[in-house]
Structure 1
Amino acid sequence: MPSASDAPQWNVHRLPRAEGRSVLVTGGNAGIGYFVAEQLAGTGATVVLGCRDAAKAEAAIASIGSRVHGAEVRYVPLDLADLGSLEASVDALGLDRLDAVVHNAGVALDHPTRCETNAGHELMFATNHLGHFALTHYLTPLLAVTPGSRLVTTGSFAAKSERLNLDDLQSTQDYRPKRAYARSKLAQMLFALELDRRLRAVGSTTTSVLVHPGGALDALTPSRPPVQVRTTGERLRHLPLGLVVQGKEAAAWPAVRAVLDPSVRGGRLWSPRRFGLRGTPRTEPVWSHLADTATAARLWEASCDLTGIDLTLAPRTRLDGKQADG
């Protein structure tokens, strides 16, 4: 079985064909998620955008369709902050199998007032972590009947210097927006790795892969009207930053590779090649605090309690519902 190191060189501009495969991208109507969806659509895969705003979703679909001839792209309403709506969103997919989901959507607040969802959860933790945790529960049957399916989670550099406070996961004490965001992303990343460990424990062929996009700037991102509009002047003014960071179309590359590359293995971290900030995707060692299995297990149990969902993983099943051999 080839490893990432001895596999043929990956070309971000010549992706393998993926006709017949289906991928859900949360938050696929804007930012990095849009470019993940656009690039996957170019492979012939069926791409479903999970979005809160129907108008923005339709604009993204039109933009992708204008650039990718014959693109198979549609959307389902998806609000990760509303846990009670997620089962209906998965039902609306209308799929009997799912090759991959890219857990990309997220919210980052910069104002000092702590916001809560209708269920009383801190908004960033609820959207970035709890919503994807619950969504995984509802997607599990579709992923389990699809051999080699993948869950790809988009992390963040913001989480690298943070640690979870398991006694205050929802930042009820000393709330600081940037720290709350970083911890919500850290929770999401810990969940992705714990998920892969638990999938391996039950013999599933589904894998969970962690990616982070590096430094992604709007100013270096090509225009996709009306989804994203950048003037030539704006891009030229920020070109020197391109020596250090990149645009969002390049920031999508790790997630796209994690979906498509047959050499990708679960439990790994993929990031841009140059200092983790820009360039083509490659694996990097999992950050030391992400390897804390005790914290990850406690977070899993806390997430079950907060969502009211018992995310229990079953062994791999066949399309007829019977347990698969091997």
Structure 2
Amino acid sequence: MPSPRTSGSSRAATPPWDVHRLPRADGSVFLVTGGNAGIGYFVAEQLSATGATVVLAGRNPAKAEAARSSIRSHVPGARVLAVRLDLADLASLGPAVRSLEADLGVERLDAVVLNAGVALDDPPREETADGHEFMFGTNHLGHFALTGRLMPLLSAAPAARIVTTGSFAAKSERLDLDDLQSRHDYRPKRTYGRSKLAQMYFGLELDRRLRAARSTVASVVVHPGGALDPLTPSRPPVHVRTTGARLRAAPAALLVQGKHAGARPAVRAVLDPGVRGGQLWGPRVFGLRGRPRREPVWNHLADTSVAARLWDASEDLTGTDFRTVTG
């Protein structure tokens, strides 16, 4: 592509971001939670095409192995590893990180994509092994505690990134700081949206604290927009799309997209040197579909007092002390 003319400068302009021509990342190590299915799978597949080593973190070894095989079949020469990790069991996080270091030989992480998540459709309310509401405990508290344990590996990289995958569903939600566990007001869709909102608050507050500590690690928040299975290409046995499902979902493609496209904001947040900590990235068209772009931080996410109170509560609920790693 020819470079545009510049005035008094011989420097070539930075080429536009191309989701189909990702920059090389040979030698980098990226960890993706929930990388064995859904959006996380496509984040892992796309990152593996850059030459990086990608570690899939999930609780089901069989699903992880299926995802590894699928990625290798679509990306010849892909370097894909797996570590067993259960975000709904805080006691399992320490052994998982030790396995990452001792068994897989990981000495640093250039990025972690906090993608894994659960969404319950129906009552009754469920709890994690630690007694936390299941969606809040898994989606937010599990990632909060995991990030604390991964900070030494992230700090060992020259300029690591923590990419938190939120949800467009969080845009219309507000946190109830007096009922974070949804004990008094449990409605599955609302509780899910709030759990993702908590993740997004965490990602932005984490970057503020990293900057204050002069850390080389940056924290970025992304969301996938609207991402539907029927618009997602098949990756058997990880995901199988029937012709009938694809045809029925075709009209929806005017507004939303498949999970392969929903992965792109996270992939850009990992790879694009122009991305900065504290930013929010999502799809270009109405925040629902299209190429990834930076968007203004949502008004309620900019409330630092809510973020700080959530942070304190999360430290208390998980027993995680970030002061030793963020200053």
Give the TM-score normalised by the residue count of structure 1: 0.93
User: In 1, are the aligned partners of 2:43 and 2:266 still within 8 Å (CA)?
Assistant: yes
Q: CA deviation at 1:162?
A: 1.1
Closer, same or farther in 2 for the Cα pair 1:247/1:170, shift >3 Å?
Answer: same
Tell me how far apart the structure 1 counterparts of residues 14 and 265 of structure 2 sit (CA, whole Å): 16
Q: Percent identity?
A: 71
Q: CA deviation at 1:7?
A: 4.3
| Equivalent residue for 1:250, pick from 252, 256, 261 | 261
Q: CA deviation at 1:232?
A: 2.5
**Which residue of 1 is the match for residue 152 of structure 2?**
141
Task: Give the letter aligned to residue 24 of structure 2.
Answer: R
**Which residue of 2 is the match for residue 309 of structure 1?**
320
User: In 1, are the aligned partners of 2:152 and 2:325 still within 8 Å (CA)?
Assistant: no
Q: What secondary structure sits across from 2:146 in the alignment?
A: helix
Matching of residues 76-115 of structure 1 within 5 Å: 76-94=83-101, 95-115=106-126
| Equivalent residue for 1:24, pick from 17, 25, 31 | 31
| Equivalent residue for 2:63, pick from 48, 56, 76 | 56
Which runs of structure 1 show a deviation greater than 4 angstroms over 4 or more consecutive aligned residues? none
**Which residue of 2 is the match for residue 162 of structure 1?**
173
Question: 1:218 aligned to 2:208?
Answer: no
Aligned residue-pair number:
311
Tell me how far apart the structure 2 counterparts of residues 203 and 220 of structure 1 sit (CA, whole Å): 42
Tell me how far apart the structure 1 counterparts of residues 263 and 164 of structure 2 sit (CA, whole Å): 12
**Which residue of 2 is the match for residue 129 of structure 1?**
140
1:159-192 deviation digits (Å, cap 9, x = unpaired): 1111111111000102111111111111110000
Closer, same or farther in 2 for the Cα pair 1:313/1:273, shift >3 Å?
Answer: farther
Closer, same or farther in 2 for the Cα pair 1:174/1:315, shift >3 Å?
Answer: closer
**Which residue of 2 is the match for residue 323 of structure 1?**
none
Q: CA deviation at 1:234?
A: 2.0
Task: Give the letter aligned to residue 94 of structure 2.
Answer: E
1:261-283 deviation digits (Å, cap 9, x = unpaired): 11100000000011111110000
1:83-118 deviation digits (Å, cap 9, x = unpaired): 011011111112111000000000000111000112
Alignment gaps of 5+ in structure 1: 1-5, 317-326
Task: Give the letter aligned to residue 173 of structure 2.
Answer: E
**Which residue of 2 is the match for residue 189 of structure 1?**
200
Tell me how far apart the structure 1 counterparts of residues 324 and 213 of structure 2 sit (CA, whole Å): 7
Q: What secondary structure sits across from 1:93 in the alignment?
A: helix
Tell me how far apart the structure 1 counterparts of residues 260 and 164 of structure 2 sit (CA, whole Å): 17
Give the TM-score normalised by the residue count of structure 2: 0.93
Two-structure CA RMSD over aligned residues (Å): 1.1
Q: CA deviation at 1:157?
A: 1.1
Q: What secondary structure sits across from 2:257 in the alignment?
A: coil
Tell me how far apart the structure 2 counterparts of residues 234 and 159 of structure 1 sit (CA, whole Å): 27
**Which residue of 1 is the match for residue 215 of structure 2?**
204
Question: 1:12 aligned to 2:19?
Answer: yes
Q: CA deviation at 1:251?
A: 0.4
Task: Give the letter aligned to residue 75 of structure 1.
Answer: A
User: In 2, are the aligned partners of 1:7 and 1:263 still within 8 Å (CA)?
Assistant: no
Tell me how far apart the structure 2 counterparts of residues 118 and 93 of structure 1 sit (CA, whole Å): 22
1:107-152 deviation digits (Å, cap 9, x = unpaired): 0001110001121110000000000000001000011111110000
Tell me how far apart the structure 1 counterparts of residues 177 and 248 of structure 2 sit (CA, whole Å): 43
Q: CA deviation at 1:20?
A: 0.2
Q: CA deviation at 1:233?
A: 3.0
1:14-44 deviation digits (Å, cap 9, x = unpaired): 0011110000000000000000000001111
Task: Give the letter aligned to residue 245 of structure 2.
Answer: E
Q: What secondary structure sits across from 1:283 in the alignment?
A: strand
Tell me how far apart the structure 2 counterparts of residues 313 and 296 of structure 1 sit (CA, whole Å): 19
User: In 2, are the aligned partners of 1:52 and 1:78 still within 8 Å (CA)?
Assistant: yes
Tell me how far apart the structure 2 counterparts of residues 83 and 163 of structure 1 sit (CA, whole Å): 26
Task: Give the letter aligned to residue 280 of structure 1.
Answer: R
Tell me how far apart the structure 1 counterparts of residues 169 and 324 of structure 2 sit (CA, whole Å): 29
**Which residue of 2 is the match for residue 118 of structure 1?**
129
Q: CA deviation at 1:315?
A: 6.2
